[in-house]
Amino acid sequence: MPTREELVALYYGEYVEPASIFIGFDVFCVFDMPLLDVGETDLYFTMCPSPYLSPTQLREILFDHIYVRRAVSTGEYASLGYPTLEYMKSFYSANMGKTLGIGFLKDGIWYPICQVTVPPETQR
């Protein structure tokens, strides 16, 4: 039975370290990356195909990947202060019933519907 490293080398022609970031587009899907994933990969999906990724989008993705996601709480909700809990409450209340990944079809092409509402005090 081949090891994970051997499978990756056979697939890519050489061993590639596990991915920590994946940028795709279209319907949320990770069909191309299972050999590189070890369960700690940050997933990003653009509205347009990857060749149209703008320098600004790449900077925003890299900033999120390097700084924002690394600062994510590990779920210690009991230690969160009242303002943080109130913000979470307002975010979840504003987005009740909304789902990431919902879209519509037009001429056989899937288009996402952006549904998330960010509470006013943190919008850019």
pLDDT, tens digit, for every residue of 67-90? 888 777 666 778 888 888 888 899
- Yes or no: say if 44 and 51 are a contact pair by the CB < 8 Å rule: no
Asked if the model's pLDDT at residue 91 lies above 80, the reply is yes
In this structure, the answer to whether residues 56 and 87 fall within a common structural domain is: no
Q: Note the pLDDT of residue 41.
A: 80
Domain of residue 46 covers 1-72
Q: Note the pLDDT of residue 30.
A: 61
Task: Give a yes or no: residue 123 inside a domain.
Answer: no
Q: How many domains does the chain have?
A: 2
In this structure, the answer to whether residues 68 and 88 fall within a common structural domain is: no
d(CA 124, CA 118): 10
Task: Give a yes or no: residue 124 inside a domain.
Answer: no
In this structure, the answer to whether residues 57 and 2 fall within a common structural domain is: yes
In this structure, the answer to whether residues 46 and 96 fall within a common structural domain is: no
Q: Note the pLDDT of residue 124.
A: 42
Q: Note the pLDDT of residue 17.
A: 78
The Cβ-side half-sphere exposure at 122, using a 13 Å CA radius, reads 9
Least confident among 2-11, 30-39, 48-57, 76-85: 30-39
In this structure, the answer to whether residues 61 and 109 fall within a common structural domain is: no
d(CA 22, CA 123): 25
In this structure, the answer to whether residues 56 and 33 fall within a common structural domain is: yes
Task: Give a yes or no: residue 45 inside a domain.
Answer: yes
Task: Give a yes or no: residue 25 inside a domain.
Answer: yes
Task: Give a yes or no: residue 36 inside a domain.
Answer: yes
Q: Note the pLDDT of residue 32.
A: 61
- Yes or no: say if 24 and 16 are a contact pair by the CB < 8 Å rule: no
